[in-house]
Structure formats: C-alpha cells, structure tokens
C-alpha cells in the first residue's frame, strides 16, 4: 500500500497541531469544567437558594472566616440556633469524613443534602420548596446563560454538583508552615520553632491525632488497617453522668453505640486564626482555652446546666492524659498553631462572592 508524501505531511501537521481533535476535546472539557465551577460559585453565594431568600451557602461559609461564620453555633433561615459550629471548607478532597459526627457522610454530594434539605434543624429550607426555588433560578437570565455554558440541565442534581465542584477548588496550602516545609526557614522565629518542637514532641503528642498534611489525620488505629477519626476529648461530663449535652452527643446519635458518647471528628488545625470559636459547639473562645483543656486532661465546668468534670468522663479517649506547660511554652505552641493559617486563602479572588461588585 502506497501513501503519498502529501498525505504524510498533512497527517503529521494534523497530529502535531494544537488544534487536533484530541486537543480540541480536552480544551472543550476543560472549559466546561471551568464553567461548572463558575456556576457553582454563583449558586454558592446566592440567597435565592433558601426558601425565604435570606441565606446562601456563603452566609455560613464566609471566606473572611476561612469559610466559617464566627458564631458559636450557626443560625438557620429563621435565626434558629443550629446544632453545631460551622465546619470550615478547604482541602476537602483530603478529608475522609465531612461532618463533625456522622461517619456515613464521605462525599460532598452527600454532605450538601444536609444544609439544603434538612428540616431538623432547618438550614436553607429547600425541602417542600424545591419547585418554587428552582423556578426562581430558571427565571434569571444569568443562570440560563451559566447553565448553558456549563453544559448542564437546570435541575437540583446540577445545582448540587456544580456547588460541590466549586467547593472542591477551595485549597489552602500557603501558610508560613507550608513555606517552611519548602525550605524558607526565615518564616519562623524562635518562639514558633519552639512551638513546633512542642507540637511534635512525645510529651504533648499533639500530632498523634492531628497528623497528615491538614493536621486532621490521626495516627491511631482500632486495628492494623482502620484509623480512628472520632474521639471523646473530655469536654463534658454533664451531671457527672458521663454524658454530653442532650442536643448533641456526637457520633452516638448515628451509631446508637454508648461507647460513642461525645465522640467527634478530629478537625483540621489549619486557619485557626480565622475559624474561632473552637470545638463542635464553639464553646471555647481562644486557643489558650483549648490548650488548657488538653493540659488538664479534659474540661471542668463548675456551674450551669452542663456542670461536670470532663476529666472523669469514662468515655474520654485514653490519649487525653494531660501534660504540663510553662506560660512561655504555651505561648510558643499557640504561635505555631497560628502559623498554620493562610491569609492568601481568605483573600483569593477566585473564592469570593461574585455578586459583590468589588470582586
């Protein structure tokens, strides 16, 4: 079979060209991917997704607070106090579990069902108002264009998918600690280095639970192949009955296993400057208070409805044994923990509210 020189030349040009079918398809898919993320960004910040037009995903997940809201416990569409403190949104691709105390939720598509459709507690109030809210979106010329560019049908599945596409892009790896790991030793002063040494020391053992790149992966195994992610850290011992407050008893509420009383997922320690107050219920205002609880081997509450000695909670993890720090060492540890915060992340223009004219 003879092939002409002309055919060879044409084939070579076509195969090597950046406009070949393969590269055109790749370019088109990349553009669609980008458009879906952009669609998700608009929907994430749009209050029209709530039943009464008052609340968006971005209301509770504000970039100023590393996608939390600064409240002890968040508020629903009617200002009802919700069950927990808002979970920050960053580096979620590396997180095995996405809620404080539900080991069944492992994907963003599953997680987004909670704020949108939950009735107890009521957050966005979509349940029962799906058609009305969807019609609001359909009537907007902006969304008619955005859905078309994203090559998606305008329905709830596409809304959920595009929002999760946007949330998946929220990455935060430009803290002083990250630059230090890359070899820039100038980012740390003496006290921060001392704090880092304490954090990774055997005496404090902080990294036993707060391991991995996001300081959220425990090095604790229930068996050789299973990492433990949920722990009771002795925050409560209501009435000295080994209980946590009735409104939130942690993993127990899903497993119904008494041994899971007060167990909550190990949180990331990144961006702590922006995500206070701390714990699942926002019950600690500052890092000093958090560290003192660990120093004491649990938290003692001396008055009020949650009075009790968390140090003596029988379900408390055996890892919470207590330790001793000097005032200087405690300050150093706090300085190191603060250095895990990424100011570039909260200012990234790609993550900001697109309805804000300044963005």
| 8 belongs to a structural domain | no
Note whether 193 and 332 are same-domain residues. Answer: yes
| 15 belongs to a structural domain | no
For residue 12, is pLDDT > 50? no
Report the distance separating Cα 347 and Cα 118, nearest Å: 31
Q: Which of 120, 139, 171 is the last residue of a domain?
A: 171
Tokens 């405690």 identify what position?
330
Note whether 165 and 212 are same-domain residues. Answer: no
Strands 264-265 and 230-231: antiparallel
| 19 belongs to a structural domain | no
For residue 9, is pLDDT > 50? no
Note whether 78 and 184 are same-domain residues. Answer: no
226 or 129: which carries more pLDDT confidence? 129
Average pLDDT, the chain: 91
Note whether 51 and 158 are same-domain residues. Answer: yes
pLDDT in tens, 151-182: 999 999 999 999 999 999 999 999 999 999 99
Note whether 160 and 230 are same-domain residues. Answer: no
Tokens 């055997």 identify what position?
202
| 198 belongs to a structural domain | yes
pLDDT in tens, 66-122: 999 999 999 998 988 999 999 999 999 999 999 999 888 889 999 999 999 988 888
| Token pair listed for 154 | 């305008």
Note whether 72 and 192 are same-domain residues. Answer: no
The answer to whether 146 and 38 are in contact (CB under 8 A) is yes
Element (H, E) at 119: none
Note whether 65 and 188 are same-domain residues. Answer: no
Q: Which of 171, 195, 219 is the last residue of a domain?
A: 171
Note whether 61 and 208 are same-domain residues. Answer: no
| 267 belongs to a structural domain | yes
pLDDT in tens, 279-337: 999 999 999 999 999 999 999 999 999 999 999 999 999 999 999 999 999 999 999 99
Note whether 221 and 126 are same-domain residues. Answer: no
The answer to whether 299 and 310 are in contact (CB under 8 A) is yes
From residue 75, how far is each of 169, 215, 265 by CA, in Å?
A: 25, 28, 21
Tokens 């709530």 identify what position?
50
Note whether 254 and 137 are same-domain residues. Answer: no
Q: Does residue 68 sit in helix, strand or coil? A: strand
Closest CA to 208 of 148, 145, 269: 269
Q: How confident is the model at residue 358 (pLDDT cuts 50, 70, 90)?
A: low
Q: What is the pLDDT of residue 20?
A: 53
From residue 11, how far is each of 6, 14, 25, 242 by CA, in Å?
A: 9, 5, 18, 75
For residue 351, is pLDDT > 80? yes
Closest CA to 314 of 243, 246, 242: 242
| 11 belongs to a structural domain | no
Q: Which of 171, 192, 227 is the last residue of a domain?
A: 171
For residue 32, is pLDDT > 80? no
Note whether 48 and 125 are same-domain residues. Answer: yes
Q: How confident is the model at residue 25 (pLDDT cuts 50, 70, 90)?
A: low
The pTM for the full model equals 0.88
Q: What is the pLDDT of residue 10?
A: 35
Determine phi and psi for 27, rounding to 5 degrees: -60, -40
Q: What is the pLDDT of residue 21?
A: 55
Q: What is the pLDDT of residue 22?
A: 54
For residue 6, is pLDDT > 80? no
Number of H helices, E strands in the chain: 14, 6
| 122 belongs to a structural domain | yes
Q: Cβ-count burial of 2 within 10 angstroms (0-12 exposed, 13-18 middle, 19+ buried)? A: exposed
Percent of the chain with pLDDT over 70: 91
Element (H, E) at 46: none
Note whether 227 and 261 are same-domain residues. Answer: yes
Strand ranges (DSSP E) for 292-345?
Answer: 300-301, 308-309
The C-alpha angle with vertex 282 and arms to 106 and 50, in degrees rounded to 5, equals: 60
For residue 16, is pLDDT > 50? no
The CATH code of the domain that includes 120 is 1.10.760.10
Report the distance separating Cα 25 and Cα 79, nearest Å: 47
pLDDT in tens, 204-257: 999 999 999 999 999 988 777 789 999 999 999 999 999 999 999 999 999 999
Domain, as residue range, for 138: 26-171
Report the distance separating Cα 25 and Cα 34, nearest Å: 14
| 5 belongs to a structural domain | no
What domain count does the chain have? 2
Average pLDDT over residues 10-17: 39
The answer to whether 90 and 345 are in contact (CB under 8 A) is yes
Q: What is the pLDDT of residue 121?
A: 80
CA torsion angle 339 340 346 348 (round to 10): 100
């Amino acid at each position: 079979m003879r092939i002409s020189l002309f055919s060879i030349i044409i084939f070579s040009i076509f195969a090597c060209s950046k406009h070949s079918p393969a590269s055109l398809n790749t370019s088109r898919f990349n553009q669609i991917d980008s458009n879906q993320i952009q669609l998700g960004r608009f929907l994430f910040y749009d209050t029209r997704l709530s039943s009464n037009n008052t609340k968006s995903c971005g209301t509770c997940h504000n970039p100023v607070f590393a996608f939390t809201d600064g409240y002890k416990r968040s508020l629903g569409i009617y200002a009802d106090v919700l069950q927990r403190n808002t979970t920050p949104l960053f580096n979620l691709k590396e997180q095995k579990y996405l809620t404080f105390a539900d080991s069944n939720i492992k994907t963003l598509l599953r997680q987004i069902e909670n704020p949108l459709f939950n009735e107890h507690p009521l957050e966005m109030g979509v349940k029962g108002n799906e058609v009305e809210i969807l019609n609001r979106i359909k009537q907007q010329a902006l969304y008619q264009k955005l859905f078309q560019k994203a090559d998606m049908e305008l329905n709830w599945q596409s809304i959920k998918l595009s929002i999760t596409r946007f949330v998946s892009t929220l990455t935060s790896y430009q803290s002083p600690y990250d630059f230090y790991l890359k070899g820039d030793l100038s980012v740390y002063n003496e006290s921060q280095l001392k704090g880092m040494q304490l954090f990774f020391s055997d005496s404090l053992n902080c990294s036993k639970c707060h391991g991995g790149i996001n300081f959220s992966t425990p090095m604790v195994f229930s068996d050789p192949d299973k990492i433990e992610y949920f722990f009771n850290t002795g925050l409560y011992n209501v009435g000295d009955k080994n209980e946590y407050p009735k409104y939130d008893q942690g993993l127990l509420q899903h497993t119904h296993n008494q041994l899971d009383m007060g167990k909550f997922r190990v949180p990331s320690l990144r961006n702590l400057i922006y995500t206070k107050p701390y714990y699942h219920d926002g019950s600690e205002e500052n890092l000093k208070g958090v560290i003192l609880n660990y120093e004491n081997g649990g938290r003692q509450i001396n008055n009020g409805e949650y009075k009790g000695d968390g140090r003596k909670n029988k379900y408390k993890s055996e890892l919470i044994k207590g330790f001793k720090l000097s005032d200087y060492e405690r300050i150093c540890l706090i300085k190191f923990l603060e250095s895990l915060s990424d100011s570039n992340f909260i200012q990234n223009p790609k993550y900001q509210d697109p309805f804000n004219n300044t963005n």
